[in-house]
Amino acid sequence: MTTGPTPETVKSCCAAAYQSDAVAAVLGDSYHPGGLALTRRLARTLGLRPGMRVLDAASGPGTTALVLAGEFGCEVAGVDLGEQSVARAREAARHAGLVGRVSFRTGDAEQLPFDDGSFDAVVSECAFCTFPDKPTAAREIARVLRPGGRAGLTDVTLHPDELPPQLADLAGWVACLADARPLEEYAALLTAAGLRPIRTERHDDALRRMVEQIDARLRAYRITAGPGAALLGLDVDRALALTAQAERVVADGTAGYGLLVAEKPGGGP
């Protein structure tokens, strides 16, 4: 009987991959579909305002957190498993002059290192799908929200029964496909954690465009370096094969991208 990777393996592998120079070269400035335009839409949908305290769960290189702090005037805390990602995010905050408004620390989204009710909002972009224990992560998001606070996710959507077997391994986890769920299931997970979904949106074209951009970057590198080349340790041929599989599930509508906002009851009128 074949078993999948353990939760610990998934976490360590995803953390290592998303703090690598190779992934940064392939993904560019934004690590999630829709880029900063979708980040700003999420922030507006959440109703973020200056002075609000916001948590960015799985903050990666800090791009989302810096936008929320710099453009929306929020006080942002970012948490990520990757120590190098946290170091890069801190450096980016210093470069942007936002050290007093945004901070980063290492931590697990399934065991958030914050007190109950610490935040007005929690965001997580293209990361919830990689959390092995999604019910626990949802409960943690709900726990750290104040009553009346809101959680906002943007994430890959996919029904597990429709996942091609080739995308069920660790590479599929890193590609945000192996354990992605339908948008309705993300909403159900947040509901079970005590939150009330108030808005969902489809942004499938954002995923299609990102996969196309990744494919184009990889092909351009292979043309320059030749077959069998490695990009900062990344097997380009293997990455292209994985991208081709991702393109197929996006093209046939199996995989998409969605935005979800949910509210914690009890905030008063």
Reported as a single tens digit per residue, the pLDDT across 138-170 is: 999 999 999 999 999 999 999 878 887 777 776
Return the closest-CA partner of residue 65 out of 131, 148, 127: 127
- List the domain boundaries for the chain: 7-158+167-206+256-263
Q: Is the pLDDT of residue 2 over 50?
A: no
Reported as a single tens digit per residue, the pLDDT across 176-216 is: 888 999 999 999 999 999 999 999 999 999 999 989 988 88
Whole-Å CA distances, 139 to 142, 250, 255, 264: 5, 30, 25, 11
Architecture of domain 7-158+167-206+256-263 in CATH?
Answer: 3-Layer(aba) Sandwich (3.40)
What b/e string do you get for 226-251 counting C-beta neighbours within 10 Å, with b at 16 or more?
eeeeebeebebeebbebbebbbebbe
Q: Which two tokens stand for residue 159?
A: 């029904």
Residue 43: which pLDDT band, with cuts at 50, 70 and 90? very high
Residue 234: which pLDDT band, with cuts at 50, 70 and 90? low
What are the phi and psi torsion angles at 153 (to 5°)?
-120, 140
Reported as a single tens digit per residue, the pLDDT across 65-78 is: 999 999 999 999 99
Q: Which two tokens stand for residue 260?
A: 């979800």
Reported as a single tens digit per residue, the pLDDT across 12-39 is: 888 887 887 777 777 777 778 999 999 9
Query: What is the identity of the amino acid at 145?
Result: L
What are the phi and psi torsion angles at 165 (to 5°)?
-55, -30
Q: Is the pLDDT of residue 50 over 80?
A: yes
Mean pLDDT of the chain: 89
What b/e string do you get for 1-15 counting C-beta neighbours within 10 Å, with b at 16 or more?
eeeebeeeebbebbb
Q: Are 132 and 11 in contact (CB under 8 A)?
A: yes
Q: Is the pLDDT of residue 231 over 60?
A: no
Rounded to an integer, what distance in angstroms lies between the CA atom of residue 65 and that of residue 22?
Answer: 22
Q: Which two tokens stand for residue 133?
A: 């224990």
Return the closest-CA partner of residue 98 out of 123, 122, 75, 78: 75
Rounded to an integer, what distance in angstroms lies between the CA atom of residue 199 and that of residue 180?
Answer: 19
